[in-house]
């Protein structure tokens, strides 16, 4: 099977762990040149080192990017275009779930603002600078490259389902990512720029496992999971690969659920 991202250039945020790390490796395995970015530079560099070791034919670079800073995102897109020639795929994946994020009464404004800064504004800025770069992409039939590009924004199942274990700012930020993504998809559809959300279910990544740090907390969720297990980051990366590749050329504005059936559930198997 030919590589699905051959000659394409991808920028991934939150490359140092979980979904971002698995996507960095998977996209590179499919032939993409990857700019691996993270607020934790060391983690991004480790991801890039793994890529170089496993896939020596692709170009990879790691840089520090705090998605809560517009200037960082602009600079990262500039680096991708300068070093790799274009930007075909923007995966706005980085996000936080703050331990002090709670219900309407207990969540402090500073936690709300920080969550929105990273999870929502960060995605907006990622879309903004990706769109500007993707508008410059020229079709290159010899390499199978198209005009436009694919933007993937990581939302969450909590954008669709209410939880009695609240993280109000996180949930609101992810709901806004879905709404914003749909509108961007409409505005840019005729420019060949596809914009989709991916909605992971609960995963075995540090983000959730550090939060569900007791068997009781895990069990409180497990009963609602139709498959009886948390998801793996690689299972989300495979969904992102579909949205990134030309396998999804007629897919835009979608809320792509990769949640083990969670949002389809009423009564789950025992």
CA Rg value for the chain: 18
Q: How far is the CB of 117 from ligand NAD (least distance, A)?
A: 8
Q: Is 14 near ligand NAD (CB under 6 A)?
A: yes
Q: Is 94 near ligand NAD (CB under 6 A)?
A: yes
Q: Which one among 81, 208, 212, 237 touches ligand NAD, defined by CB under 6 A?
A: 208
Contact window for ligand NAD (CB under 6 A) among 34-42, 80-88, 128-136, 250-258: 34-42
Nearer to ligand NAD (CB atom), residue 34 or residue 94 = 94
Q: Active site includes 266?
A: no
Compute φ and ψ for 131, nearest 5 degrees: -60, -45
* Cβ neighbour number for residue 230 with a 10 Å cutoff: 18
Contact window for ligand NAD (CB under 6 A) among 76-84, 87-95, 103-111, 126-134: 87-95
* DSSP H or E segment with residue 217: helix 215-222
Nearer to ligand NAD (CB atom), residue 67 or residue 184 = 67
Q: Is 120 near ligand NAD (CB under 6 A)?
A: no
Nearer to ligand NAD (CB atom), residue 58 or residue 198 = 198
Q: How far is the CB of 201 from ligand NAD (least distance, A)?
A: 7
Nearer to ligand NAD (CB atom), residue 148 or residue 202 = 202
Q: How far is the CB of 145 from ligand NAD (least distance, A)?
A: 27
Q: How many residues bind ligand NAD (CB under 6 A)?
A: 31
Q: Which residues pair with 149 in a beta bridge?
A: 193
* DSSP H or E segment with residue 256: strand 255-258
CA distances from 162 to 32, 100, 167, 257, 262 (A): 37, 18, 10, 15, 12
Q: Is 153 near ligand NAD (CB under 6 A)?
A: no
Q: Are strands 89-92 and 255-258 parallel, antiparallel or unpaired?
A: unpaired
Catalogue the E-assigned strands of 48-128: 60-64, 89-92
Close Cβ partners of 32 (under 8 Å, ≥ 6 residues apart):
5, 6, 8, 9, 10, 58, 88, 89, 244
Binding site for ligand NAD (CB under 6 A): 13-14, 16-20, 38-40, 43, 65-68, 93-97, 118, 154, 156, 200, 202-203, 205-208, 233
């Amino acid at each position: 099977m030919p590589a699905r991202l051959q000659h394409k250039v991808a920028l991934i945020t939150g490359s140092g762990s979980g979904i971002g790390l698995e996507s960095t490796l998977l996209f590179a395995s499919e032939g993409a040149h990857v700019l691996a970015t993270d607020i934790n530079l060391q983690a991004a560099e480790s991801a890039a080192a793994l890529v170089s070791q496993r896939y020596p034919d692709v170009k990879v670079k790691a840089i520090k990017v705090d998605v809560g800073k517009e200037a960082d995102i602009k600079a990262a897109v500039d680096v991708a275009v300068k070093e790799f020639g274009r930007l075909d795929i923007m995966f706005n994946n980085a996000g936080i779930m703050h331990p002090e994020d709670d219900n309407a009464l207990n969540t402090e404004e500073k936690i709300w603002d920080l969550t929105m800064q990273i999870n929502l504004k960060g995605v907006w800025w990622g879309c903004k600078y990706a769109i500007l770069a993707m508008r410059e992409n020229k079709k290159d039939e010899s390499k199978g490259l198209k005009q436009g590009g694919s933007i993937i924004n990581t939302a969450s199942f909590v954008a669709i389902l209410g939880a009695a274990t609240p993280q109000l700012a996180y949930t609101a930020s992810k709901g806004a990512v879905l709404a914003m993504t749909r509108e961007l998809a409409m505005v840019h559809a005729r420019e060949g720029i596809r914009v989709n959300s991916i909605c992971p279910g609960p995963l075995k990544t540090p983000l959730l496992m550090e939060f569900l740090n007791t068997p009781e907390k895990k069990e409180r969720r497990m009963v609602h999971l139709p498959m009886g297990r948390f998801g793996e980051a690689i299972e989300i990366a495979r969904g992102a690969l579909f949205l990134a590749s030309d396998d999804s050329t007629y897919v835009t504005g979608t809320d792509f659920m990769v949640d083990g059936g969670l949002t389809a559930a009423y009564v789950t198997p025992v």
